[in-house]
């Protein structure tokens, strides 16, 4: 593979150039080389790392968590990586439970609202204001 410019790398991975620059500033990604003109050049290692970051983000990992996974992967600590993934899965399950509770509450409010009449009588507005329905 020949080296890629920042624009070529961004296009290959499907992220913006500013995202790549942000990852560099955050220490998640470093360019392989710079041309005498100062332009960044990226190789296969940077492409793989950026794809790793993108996939981890798609699975819900935050950037600090991605950084931790990258550090763990460099130490080849499979048990630690599994524990991090299990923790993320538990966090996602907790958030899904919370969202389901929110959904059920909102569903009840929508069912209670006739969808017509005066705003003062709207059960949704009363619930949001913390008032008992009138």
Q: What confidence tens digit (pLDDT) does each residue in 42-60 have?
A: 999 999 999 999 999 999 9
Nearest to 72 by CA among 91, 58, 86: 86
Arithmetic mean of pLDDT, 52-81: 89
**85 burial type by CB count under 10 A (0-12 exposed, 13-18 middle, 19+ buried):** middle
Domain edges within the chain? 1-76, 85-134
Arithmetic mean of pLDDT, 70-82: 83
Question: What are the backbone angles phi and psi of residue 41, rounded to the nearest 5°?
Answer: -130, 135
Q: Are 10 and 16 in contact (CB under 8 A)?
A: yes
At 127 the pLDDT is: 86
Q: Give the span between the Cα atoms of 124 and 131, in whole angstroms.
A: 10
Is this prediction's pTM over 0.75?
no
CATH class of 1-76: mainly alpha
């Amino acid at each position: 593979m020949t080296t890629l410019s920042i624009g070529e790398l961004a296009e290959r991975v499907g992220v913006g150039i500013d995202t790549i620059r942000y990852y560099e500033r955050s220490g998640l990604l470093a360019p392989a080389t710079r041309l005498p003109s100062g332009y960044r050049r990226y190789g296969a290692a940077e492409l793989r790392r950026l794809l790793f970051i993108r996939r981890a983000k798609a699975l819900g990992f935050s950037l600090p968590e991605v950084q931790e996974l990258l550090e763990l992967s460099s130490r080849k600590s499979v048990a630690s990586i599994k524990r991090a993934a299990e923790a993320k899965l538990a966090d996602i399950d907790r958030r899904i439970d919370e969202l389901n509770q929110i959904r059920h509450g909102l569903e009840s409010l929508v069912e209670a609202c006739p969808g017509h009449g005066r705003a003062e009588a709207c059960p949704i507005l009363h619930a949001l204001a913390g008032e008992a329905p009138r």
